[in-house]
Copies of this chain bind each other. A is one copy, B any other.
Amino acid sequence: MSKSAVLLVSCPDRPGLVASITDFIFRRKGNILHLDQHVDSEQDVFFMRVAWDLAHFETPPERIAAAFAPIAEQYNMDWRLHFSDERLRMAIFVSKQDHCLYDILSRWQSGELPVEIPLIISNHPDLAPVADKFGLPFEVYQINAENKAERERQQIERLHTHKIDFVVLARYMQILTGDFISHFPDRIINIHHSFLPAFPGARPYHQAYQRGVKIIGATSHYVTQDLDAGPIIEQNVARVDHRDSVKDMIRKGKDLEKTVLASAIWYHINHRVLAYNNKTVVFQ
């Protein structure tokens, strides 16, 4: 397969947007591989993701952004341009539970998640052996009320040193401060073990058991200042009934957490997610 480009656009809706963008690609002899478009007709916002083959494209990759800028300006676009040969750099934060970490690392090793993983960070030493199995650096930052600000400062520095593009909280049991979050807007992916907005906060399976729901869920979302309230990327659910104890729900829920988080990562690294207005457009 030859190299391809992906353009992500959002802007106020106006006639001619699709025509302008596709014409830009066509005139330079690009062949469109995928085009997805969406209009939020309540807010009058236009979204587009278009991927095209660069094999015969007349503008070289490093000059495409400059060539597109005038169109972007004309329509007042927010936009990002990516190329198929880039590999995002992902940091993973974990605590004591290993199921999401194992799942991510085995997908990574088999090529399903083509990213770089420069480091794994934890507030506990427990999962160091897992990182070790996969030959990945594992750094422990034990955190308490006193040292939290200092520890986060150190973590942010490490993330910047490693040129981390996005962070995955794989059942990381520490609440990040607003300051930390502001360094990575729409670039911290969390997995919450409930069907949000039901059961936010602590011990959602216990809450679900107490309430007697017949279906449990998991939700992956971008982290914002409001706990468990950021833009939802993916959700999934599983049936339970009166026979399921909290322990059974935890066991069934782990499978949801693993697959929902992996899907969210996959969408993110394939540049398929546009967050706006505390929601997401996810182009499949």
Interface on A for B, CB 8 Å cutoff?
Answer: 15-19, 22-23, 25-26, 29-42, 47, 98-99, 102-103, 106-107, 109-110, 112, 133-134, 195-199, 211-215, 217, 231-237, 239, 241-243, 245, 251, 254-255, 259, 262, 277-282, 284
Chain B residue, CB-CB nearest to A275 = B212
Given A251-B112, A280-B212, A25 contacting B29 (CB threshold 8 A): no
Q: How many protomers of this protein does the assembly include?
A: 4
Given A19-B19, A197-B211, A214-B232, A37 contacting B35 (CB threshold 8 A): yes
Q: A212 near B198 (CB under 8 angstroms)?
A: no
Q: Which 9 A-B pairs have the closest CB atoms?
A: A212-B279, A102-B106, A19-B26, A19-B22, A198-B198, A242-B281, A133-B133, A15-B31, A214-B235
Q: A19 near B25 (CB under 8 angstroms)?
A: yes
Residues of B within 8 A of A197 (CB): 198-199, 211, 213
Please, how many angstroms separate the alpha-carbon atoms of A254 and B109 in the complex? 14
Q: B282 near A241 (CB under 8 angstroms)?
A: yes
Residues of B within 8 A of A215 (CB): 195, 217, 235-237
